Each structure stands twice: as C-alpha cells, then as structure tokens.
Copies of this chain bind each other. A is one copy, B any other.
Amino acid sequence: MNGKMQTIDGNTAACHVAYGMSEVATIYPITPSSPLGEIADAWAVAGRKNIFGETLNVKQMQSEAGAAGAVHGSLVGGAVTCTFTASQGLLLKIPNMYKIAGELLPSVFHVTARSLSAHALSIFGDQADVMATRQTGFAQIVSSSVQEVMDLALVAHLATIESSVPFLHFFDGFRTSHEIQKIEVIDYDDMAKLFNWDAYWAFKKRAINPERPDTRGTAQNPDIYFQSREACNKYYLATPAIVAKYMEQVSTLTGRTYNLFDYVGDPQAERVVVAMGSGCEAIEETVNAMSAQGEKVGLVKVRLYRPFDVDAFFTALPASASAVTILDRTKEPGSVGEPLYTDVCAAYIDKGMAPPKIYGGRYGLSSKEFTPSMIKAVYDNMTASEPKKRFTVGINDDVTHMSLPVAEDFKAEPEGNIRAKFWGLGSDGTVGANQSAIKIIGDNTEKYAQGYFAYDSKKSGGITISHLRFGDVPIKSTYLINEADFVACHNPTYVNIYDILEGIREGGTFLLNCPWSAEEMEEQLPGDLRKTIHDKKLKFFTVDAIKIAQDVGLGGRINMIMQTCFFKLANVLPIEEAIDLLKKDIQKTFGKKGDHIVAMNISAVDNTLDNLIEVDIPESWGQAAGSIPPKPEATDYVEKIMYPVQALKGDDLPVSVFPPDGVFPTSTARYEKRGVAVSVPEWISSECIQCNQCSFICPHSAIIPILATDDELKGAPDTFETVPAVGKALKGYQFRIQVNALDCQGCGNCVDICPAKN
C-alpha cells in the first residue's frame, strides 16, 4: 500500500476523483447516484480544493435533462465538467450525449448503473441504463469494486481530456455505489502529476469566446453530413491506446494492474467467462476456488467497453479457451443477444477467428444476488451434456426454462474472513452504527473491511440487514453473507417473523436484543430457532438494549449498546481498544450536539458489557420444535407472492407466479400486519382533545379515529373504551382513537405531535 487507506463507499470514491479532476459538476439527484452530488456539494461548501486549486462549482439543475444540457453548455464554455446519474436520469441525458460526443467535448459521466422502469420500477443495480447509451459515442469504462472506482475514475478523467472523447464511467448501483470497502485513496497531487495540462489548455482554447467567435450546432444536409460524421474516427481509434497508457500510469502509481481487458485464472483455461462490473469480483473468487480444485477456468474482465478494442480482447483471452460464456447484467427483449454477448460474437468474426463454443447469459438484474454457486453453474454449463446456449442464472425460470440449474452450494470465500450479519428495523440506526463500526475497524487495524446494507421495500420501518466482512486481504465477495460467524438481531419481534439464523455457521455467535430471561426464552423463541442454537452449538448472548438505552436517557436508540456488544463478541480487535475507539467516534459524531449527548452515549457503552448475558443452552432445545406461525389464508397473489416476499423468501419465487405486465391486485395491505414495533402508543382517553392529528401524522395509517353510536357499541368488549365526542354536530356519538398495534412501526410521530401529551 502506497497511499492513504480509507473505508468508504463507491460513491465517495468516485466523488473523490470527480471532485479533484473537474471544475464544474452539474447534478440532479437520482438513486443510487444522489450521494455523489451531495458529497460533492458538501466538499465544495467546506472549501475543498481540486487539482486546479479551486473549489468545485456544483450546480443542481431542474432535471437530469437539464443537468446534461448544462454539462454541454459548460463544456462548450471551456470548463472541465462532469455529472452523476443513473437509470431514467441517464436516459434523459441521451440527446445531449450525442451532442457532447459529436462535438468531441471531454467529460466524465459517473453512473451508478441501475435498472430501468419496465414492468416495474427498481432502484437497484443492473446495467440496462448504461447499455441504453452504448451507441451515443461516449467511451465507456467500468469498475468492478470500490477500489477500482477510485482507480478507473481517475483513468477516465485523465483519458478524456487527452482523447477529446467523453467518458461514461460506471459501476453497479448499490453493490458498488453503496458498498463500503477499505481502499487506497489517491492523492490529488499524484492526480495532478498525471494530468495532461497541454490537452487541458488546448481544450480551453476550443471554448466559445466572443473575442474569436465561431459557429456551432449547424444543420448539415445529405451532401456533407456523412463525411463530417466520419471525421471523428481517428479520435475513437486513438482512444484505447490513450486509456491503456493512463491505466499503465495508474498501475505504476498504485501497484494495482489495469489493462483494457484483464484476465484472471488458469493461463491454459479451457472455460472462460467474460463479464463487467461488480460480478467480476465474485467470479474471480470462484475462479480461484475452482482453480484450487484443479479446474482450468478463467475470467476476462472488461475494463474499457467502448471503444471496444478487439485486439486487446483477444490478447487477454487465453487461446486455450474452448468454451466462452459472456455474461450481461441487462436484458434486451427481442435481441439476438445482450450487448456484451453480441459484441464478443462480432469480435470473433471481426478477427476472422473460428469461434469456440460460445454461450450467453443474463444475471443479476436489479441487484439480484450473484453468488459463487451461480457462477459455478455458469462454468458447469460449459461442460454440460446439454448446455444452454442462451440462459439466465440466479432465478428459476419455470416458464421459458432459460435458467441454469444451481444445484451445488459452492463456497468460494477465502478462509479466515469474519462475517457478521445484523437484523435491524429501517431508520432504527442499525445501518449507521454498522457503518461506524466498519470504519473504526477499517481505519484502525490492518484488516480489510466490507459493508453492504440490504433494505426491503419500505422507505422507513422496513427491515435492514447489514452484511459486514473483515479479512486480511481485499474482500471480493460481492454477494450477501450466506455463512455468518456472527448474527445480531436488534429487534426481538423478528424471531417470530424471519428465519434469522439461516446460514449461521456451526459454533457461531448469536446476539439477541431482548428483555427476556433465560426461562422466558422457552416461550418467546420458536422451537426451530432454539433447535438451531442447540444443534449448531451457537454461542447465544442477550442484552436488554432498550432498557439500557432508556436508563441512560437515549430513549429507543440502542445502536451504541449493540455496537459495543458486537465489538466484544466478534473479537475483530481487542475490546479495550475497540471501546476506546468507539468513544472517540462518539466524541467526533456527537461533539457538535453537546456534552450531554456525548455523555449519554458514553454511559450507554459503559453500561453494556455488564448486561451482556451468555445464555446456557438447555439440552432440551435439541428436541425443540415449532416454526414461525403460519400466515392466515389469503388470495392467490398474497399467498404466492406477498407472503414469501414478506418472509424475505422472494428470491425463491419462480417466474411463473409473476404477471408479465406488472399488474397486481389491490387491497392487499391488510395481509401485511408486520407487528414489529417494540413499543406502541397508548391512547389516554382522559387527556385527548379529539384533534385527530395523531391519525393524520401516522406514516403507516395505524391510527383510526372512530365515531360510534351507543347502538353500534352494544356488545363491544370492555377494553373498547370510548368518550363522548366533542362538538354539537357529534351529539350522541362516542369517540375513540384506535391504534392498530400490528401496523404500528413504533416511530413515535403520533406521540410527538399530540397536543394533549403531558
């Protein structure tokens, strides 16, 4: 390692380079690229200086189309300009991309590759958006990991100014944009040294200028348009060599090697996969694991997708390959094949080479998991007796039967990593605490660290599962943890809803936040769970984090307590040191909010370890039975799709259950009684002024004001307390505020707003 190591996510890595290497950034928020603009803006406000010695000029526009238009205008005006986008946002930029490329204006668009809205919207990662722009004339360079985002973003910025061809630099949304990794950060001074200042000044000279006016954006006719359009050829022909040169320089600077196409695996590989983006990391892991078993396999990672350098591709690909599978993270219905597949086919023909057996597959759409088991299936397909020429992998397509069977549970993760998984409630702070934990470990130990955060579909109050890995070498497992050393459950209600110990390794550690004594466990924990704890010989700890938090005045904020437990149990670094670092972090994070807040958090930490209880596992748990209670009978849709999705088993659903046009039934919210609130508001009838504000504010529609006549109230249970309704018009009615405890998420909004609370 030469430079400074930092534990950051892909967006921060891209922004580090984009900020340093640009004079102007025009932005418009769209998930998952929004943080790029936010970070850039924050740095600019803080006065951070780029390689030009200036703060970046960040302009938020009225739409993504406006941001693209502003990039164009800014470039024509002679400012080195970048933008950040994804998905539909990128689509809105297409018209301007043709213009920017057509006018040979150097720029970098950093794209967190994301699905496009089709049958449904999705904010998650795939490359459909980027592929929709492959014809615009932009060069396209792709990063597979957070470290590569840092390194190849730099290559993109260095190459664009020299080549005059604009670049789209992309990396997979969420998997790379939001994954936290410990990486080496390149210094702005080093960047400046590599920058072609002559090309920079030449670019400035091409800018519009009233002193030497020129004419742009002309209209051309059949007589000359074609010739003019061909005048750019030499720039595109020159670009791969320029990119290769800067890859070499960045390789020299960092010690990490980059080529237009990079090969990993057996030099005499018989089966080779070609892919681009974050999937390459998991494929590399799998190739290593398979090679260790003596299989002759390999992977070509695409770095520069456009201009596609056919010779460089065949330089990377071993001549020994008798079967090649090309993987695309996008779907183009009705095409002969997805983009990378057809490009590689054309490359063979362009090169005049007899193609080996060639296969093409789709994987990972919308951040669908892409695991070593699936990757193994891709390699196995190449030697199958009846291989699928065109396939999908990672799903069960029981309609058109394109999907590869994933029979084997193949593990490729290197030994020795520590893998921790945390179940939290959206907006309960679990993710934030884990982000701080990973930074503490990453920044203060020699360990490499990776953090990835899986959310369900609810904007707040949904489930979050944090996946943290720590290890001695860079972590390439770009998939969720399926064999955890440590599982923490921050919400006691989850034990009755989710299969939270799925995949925990034998002898692993299970930490449960709950108020239950060892005896109460018998009743509170489902039998299945107790049996797993017993059979897998887990170390089982509990902590009543809510009580500790309340005692020190932190209300429901239990993160500091759970984080302390994690440091104690996971044993990634000595506990004393960990607590010391945690307290320093508290000081840093809450210092601005006042000593009082700092003190509360520190006393939460101090009160934790004495209350961390190891539960002795009764032998009887080996015979425990009984699983998560079944859901009530419901409609076909609810039973076939909604219930499995709620139980986090959506990945297992086959194609056949889904409507092909994205049309779903309504009136299904009633089947989603989550019951996850650890505390539910109570209506105090004697205080209530009947303003109904609690009902109005509840984001989960869990509060219903009721008016009822005495007649209607006949036979109501005693607990159905009511008071006379206020107001002349309501004479004769009784009033009640009904809280639906199963819908409530325990956010406390209703209590906050209640004017009658004491």
- A binding-site residues for B, Cβ under 8 Å: 88, 91-92, 94-95, 98-99, 101-105, 115-124, 128, 131-132, 134-140, 164-165, 206, 213-237, 239, 306-308, 310, 330-337, 339, 341-343, 345-350, 352, 354-355, 358, 364-369, 389-390, 392, 394-397, 399-400, 402-403, 454-457, 641, 645, 648-651, 653-666
Chain B residues contacting A365 (CB-CB under 8 Å) are 225-226, 229
Shortest C-beta distance, A227 to chain B (Å), equals 5
Q: How far is the CA of A322 from the CA of B165 in the complex (A)?
A: 38
Q: Is the CB of A662 within 8 A of B335?
A: no
Q: Is the CB of A216 within 8 A of B137?
A: no
Q: Which residue of B lies closest to A131 (CB)?
A: B135
Q: Is the CB of B135 within 8 A of A335?
A: yes
Chain B residues contacting A165 (CB-CB under 8 Å) are 334
Chain B residues contacting A137 (CB-CB under 8 Å) are 118, 332-334
Q: Is the CB of A662 within 8 A of B228?
A: yes
Chain B residues contacting A347 (CB-CB under 8 Å) are 336
Chain B residues contacting A88 (CB-CB under 8 Å) are 95
Chain B residues contacting A234 (CB-CB under 8 Å) are 399-400, 660
Q: How far is the CA of A622 from the CA of B92 in the complex (A)?
A: 63
Q: How far is the CA of A75 from the CA of B419 in the complex (A)?
A: 49
Q: A121-B218, A214-B664, A658-B227 are in contact. Are A350 and B335 (CB under 8 A)?
A: no
Q: Is the CB of B117 within 8 A of A661?
A: no
Q: Is the CB of A219 within 8 A of B91?
A: no
Extra 12 A-B pairs, beta carbons < 8 Å, given A103-B661, A234-B660: A104-B661, A115-B225, A120-B218, A124-B222, A131-B135, A165-B334, A216-B664, A222-B368, A224-B651, A231-B655, A239-B334, A307-B335
Q: How far is the CA of A137 from the CA of B332 in the complex (A)?
A: 6
Chain B residues contacting A661 (CB-CB under 8 Å) are 102-105, 164, 206, 232
Contact partner of A306 (CB less than 8 A), chosen from B220, B335, B396, is B335
Shortest C-beta distance, A367 to chain B (Å), equals 4
Q: A104-B660, A121-B217, A663-B206 are in contact. Are A94 and B132 (CB under 8 A)?
A: yes
Q: A232-B333, A239-B334 are in contact. Are A390 and B306 (CB under 8 A)?
A: no
Chain B residues contacting A118 (CB-CB under 8 Å) are 98-99, 101-103, 137, 229
Contact partner of A331 (CB less than 8 A), chosen from B120, B229, B352, is B229
Listed by A's residue number, 28 A-B pairs whose Cβ atoms lie within 8 Å are: A95-B117, A98-B116, A99-B118, A101-B333, A103-B118, A118-B137, A119-B231, A119-B232, A120-B217, A120-B218, A121-B219, A122-B219, A132-B135, A214-B664, A218-B662, A223-B645, A223-B653, A224-B658, A225-B366, A226-B394, A227-B396, A232-B660, A233-B333, A233-B402, A308-B336, A336-B347, A345-B348, A349-B349
Chain B residues contacting A456 (CB-CB under 8 Å) are 221
Q: Is the CB of A216 within 8 A of B662?
A: yes
Q: Is the CB of A457 within 8 A of B219?
A: yes
Chain B residues contacting A99 (CB-CB under 8 Å) are 117-118
Contact partner of A336 (CB less than 8 A), chosen from B139, B310, B335, B336, is B310
Q: Is the CB of B666 within 8 A of A134?
A: no
Q: Is the CB of B98 within 8 A of A368?
A: no
Chain B residues contacting A216 (CB-CB under 8 Å) are 662-664
Contact partner of A120 (CB less than 8 A), chosen from B220, B345, B658, is B220
Shortest C-beta distance, A615 to chain B (Å), equals 32
Q: How far is the CA of A629 from the CA of B692 in the complex (A)?
A: 90
Top 7 A-B residue pairs of the complex, sorted by shortest distance between their CB atoms: A102-B118, A223-B650, A225-B366, A307-B334, A231-B660, A222-B367, A226-B365
Chain B residues contacting A119 (CB-CB under 8 Å) are 102-104, 228-229, 231-232
Chain B residues contacting A131 (CB-CB under 8 Å) are 135
Q: Which residue of B lies closest to A363 (CB)?
A: B226
Chain B residues contacting A336 (CB-CB under 8 Å) are 308, 310, 343, 346-347, 350
Chain B residues contacting A358 (CB-CB under 8 Å) are 349
Q: How far is the CA of A115 from the CA of B221 in the complex (A)?
A: 10
Shortest C-beta distance, A462 to chain B (Å), equals 10
Shortest C-beta distance, A167 to chain B (Å), equals 11
Chain B residues contacting A307 (CB-CB under 8 Å) are 333-335
Interface centre among A134, A364, A641 (most CB of B within 10 A): A134
Q: Which residue of B lies closest to A355 (CB)?
A: B349
Q: Which residue of B lies closest to A400 (CB)?
A: B233
Contact partner of A230 (CB less than 8 A), chosen from B228, B397, B649, is B397
Q: A227-B653, A399-B233, A641-B224 are in contact. Are A214 and B331 (CB under 8 A)?
A: no
Q: A122-B225, A306-B334, A366-B220 are in contact. Are A402 and B230 (CB under 8 A)?
A: yes
Chain B residues contacting A367 (CB-CB under 8 Å) are 221-222
Shortest C-beta distance, A480 to chain B (Å), equals 9
Q: Is the CB of B664 within 8 A of A335?
A: no
Chain B residues contacting A366 (CB-CB under 8 Å) are 220-222, 225-226, 229
Shortest C-beta distance, A642 to chain B (Å), equals 10
Q: How far is the CA of A280 from the CA of B99 in the complex (A)?
A: 30
Q: Is the CB of A658 within 8 A of B226?
A: no
Q: Which residue of B lies closest to A654 (CB)?
A: B227
Chain B residues contacting A230 (CB-CB under 8 Å) are 331, 392, 395, 397, 399-400, 402-403, 655
Contact partner of A102 (CB less than 8 A), chosen from B226, B369, B392, B662, is B662
